[in-house]
């Protein structure tokens, strides 16, 4: 029997359920090197961690209630990790997501095959201490980078007087929100799993974001994903505000130029696609909130007559958008490659 479409996720989730110390990166790499992605291959990998396994096929499916979780069960949708069994329902993990089904429904989907595993008292990943330290330092680098970015933001926010006006404070906050929403959209377009993106997308319509991102309309001129355009817009706007607050009038004018897109996007989702992308709607709302803030601060009135600053800002938006578009295939390729022992799981 073949394992599910994400074998590295399956084995790491299973090791976690078994209480066996392991690191995601090393386990993912080891699973990627197994020639046959089968339960037999998985059982051989588990032996390296000090876990022995036995496979059974039960002809009487009611016997499942006598098995002590956790264990693997093969279903029509692939392998799942059964974590709890009650007289009426079964709790299991599929694709990293905990789910619950009634006992009868689960037995209908299950083919009777199970893999039972027995960790030894000292079961652990080979060289777990070394791998865990490497993983810790990789995660620490991310946190240090985040702290540096936050401190730089606070410094520029204060030094350039952004805090002195309510409108600029709100513009900064909305730009940060726009960056977050478009970042999630970029991950969605690259098929990078992010639980936060899934939760947000499910607010208006489950699966709506994925459906919209699969349409031709999700590409600007068939080349640039709207997620890339949005991320470039909000990131350049925030950086410009922090570094060159005198550019506020032309930031306001650029925002005004974006508003017609919001009408088209809502119309397309409502009448053509007939599906709602919650993240897309959040981006449209952010653009309108920015417009009201620019109007409230009087920045739009100062945009006339036009200045070369406006065109320079447009070039900055275009440059970042082109750069992001160029590296997107590389990000997509790396996200689909097996991780090295020092790689880390996507957040």
Residue 249 pLDDT more than 70? Answer: yes
* Cβ contact 83:14 at 8 Å: no
DSSP 226-271: HHHHHHHHHHHHHHHHHH-GGGHHHHHHHHHHHHHHHHHHHHIIII
What pTM did the predictor assign?
0.66
CA angle 30, 42, 53 (to 5 degrees): 130
Q: Minimal CA–CA distance to 115: which of 44, 30, 205? A: 44
Conformation bin of residue 191: beta by default, left when phi > 0, alpha when psi is -120 to 50? left
pLDDT exceeds cutoff 60 at 1: no
Summary mean pLDDT of the chain: 86
Question: Residues 259, 288: contact at Cβ < 8 Å?
Answer: yes
Please tell me what DSSP assigns to residue 292: H
Local confidence band at 5 (pLDDT 50, 70, 90 cut-offs): very low
Under DSSP, is residue 346 helix (H, G, I), strand (E, B) or coil? coil
- Mean per-residue pLDDT, 170-194: 90
From the list 269, 278, 279, 265, the residue with the least C-alpha distance to 184 is 279
Q: For a pLDDT cut of 70, what percent of the chain falls above it?
A: 91
Tokens for 59? 């002809």
Backbone angles phi, psi at 342, to 5 degrees: -100, 5
Write the CB contacts of 100 (distance below 8 Å, at least 6 apart in sequence).
89, 90, 91, 92
Query: What pLDDT is attached to residue 334?
Result: 64
Share of residues in the chain with pLDDT > 90 (%): 47
Mean predicted confidence (pLDDT) in 295-318: 90
Higher pLDDT: 331 or 275? It is: 275
**Cα–Cα separations (whole angstroms), residue 174 to 10, 235, 261, 288:** 38, 11, 18, 10
CA quadruple 324, 325, 331, 332: dihedral sign:
positive
For the chain, which domains are there? 7-118 (3.90.70.10), 160-335 (1.20.1440.130)
pLDDT attached to residue 116: 93
Is the per-residue pLDDT at 50 higher than 90? yes
Evaluate if residue 3 carries a pLDDT over 80. Answer: no
Answer yes or no: is pLDDT of 133 > 70.
yes
| 91, 98 Cβ separation under 8 angstroms | yes
Per-residue model confidence (pLDDT) at position 343: 38
* Cα dist from 222 to 186, 198, 212, 269, whole Å: 16, 25, 14, 18
- Dihedrals phi, psi of 152, to nearest 5 degrees: -65, -40
**pLDDT tens per residue, range 194-234:** 778 888 887 777 777 878 877 877 777 667 788 888 999 99
* 307 exposure class (CB count in 10 Å sphere: 0-12, 13-18, 19+): middle
342: confidence class by pLDDT, cuts 50, 70, 90: very low
First-to-last alpha carbon distance for the chain, in angstroms, is 30
Residue 84's pLDDT is what?
93
């Amino acid at each position: 029997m073949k394992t599910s479409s994400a074998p590295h996720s399956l084995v790491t989730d299973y090791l976690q359920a078994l209480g066996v110390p392991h690191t995601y990166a090393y386990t993912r790499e080891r699973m990627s090197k197994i020639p046959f992605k089968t339960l037999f291959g998985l059982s051989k990998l588990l032996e390296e961690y000090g876990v022995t396994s036995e496979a059974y096929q039960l002809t009487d499916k009611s016997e499942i209630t006598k098995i002590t979780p956790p264990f693997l069960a093969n279903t029509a949708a692939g392998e799942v990790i059964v974590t709890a069994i009650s007289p009426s329902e079964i709790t299991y993990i599929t694709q990293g997501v905990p789910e619950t089904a009634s006992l009868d429904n689960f037995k209908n989907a299950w083919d009777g095959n199970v893999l039972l595993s027995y960790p030894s008292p000292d079961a652990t990943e080979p060289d777990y201490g070394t791998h865990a330290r490497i993983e810790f330092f990789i995660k620490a680098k991310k946190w240090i980078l985040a702290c540096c970015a936050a401190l730089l933001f606070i410094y520029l926010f204060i030094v350039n007087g952004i805090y002195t006006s309510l409108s600029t404070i709100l513009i900064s906050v909305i730009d940060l929100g726009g960056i977050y929403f478009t970042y999630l959209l970029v991950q969605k377009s690259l098929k990078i799993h992010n639980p936060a993106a899934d939760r947000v997308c499910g607010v208006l319509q489950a699966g709506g974001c994925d459906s919209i991102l699969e349409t031709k309309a999700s590409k600007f001129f068939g080349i640039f994903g709207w997620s890339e355009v949005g991320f470039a817009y909000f990131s350049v706007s925030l950086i410009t505000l922090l570094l060159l607050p005198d550019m506020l009038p032309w930031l306001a004018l650029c925002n005004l130029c974006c508003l017609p897109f919001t009408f088209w996007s809502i119309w397309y989702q409502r009448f053509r696609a007939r599906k709602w992308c919650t993240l897309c709607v959040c981006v449209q709302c952010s653009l309108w909130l920015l417009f009201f803030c620019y109007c409230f601060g009087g920045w739009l009135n100062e945009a006339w007559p036009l200045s070369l600053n406006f065109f320079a800002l447009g070039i900055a938006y275009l440059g970042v958008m082109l750069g992001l578009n160029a590296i997107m295939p590389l990000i997509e390729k790396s996200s689909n490659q097996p991780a090295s022992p020092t790689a880390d799981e996507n957040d």
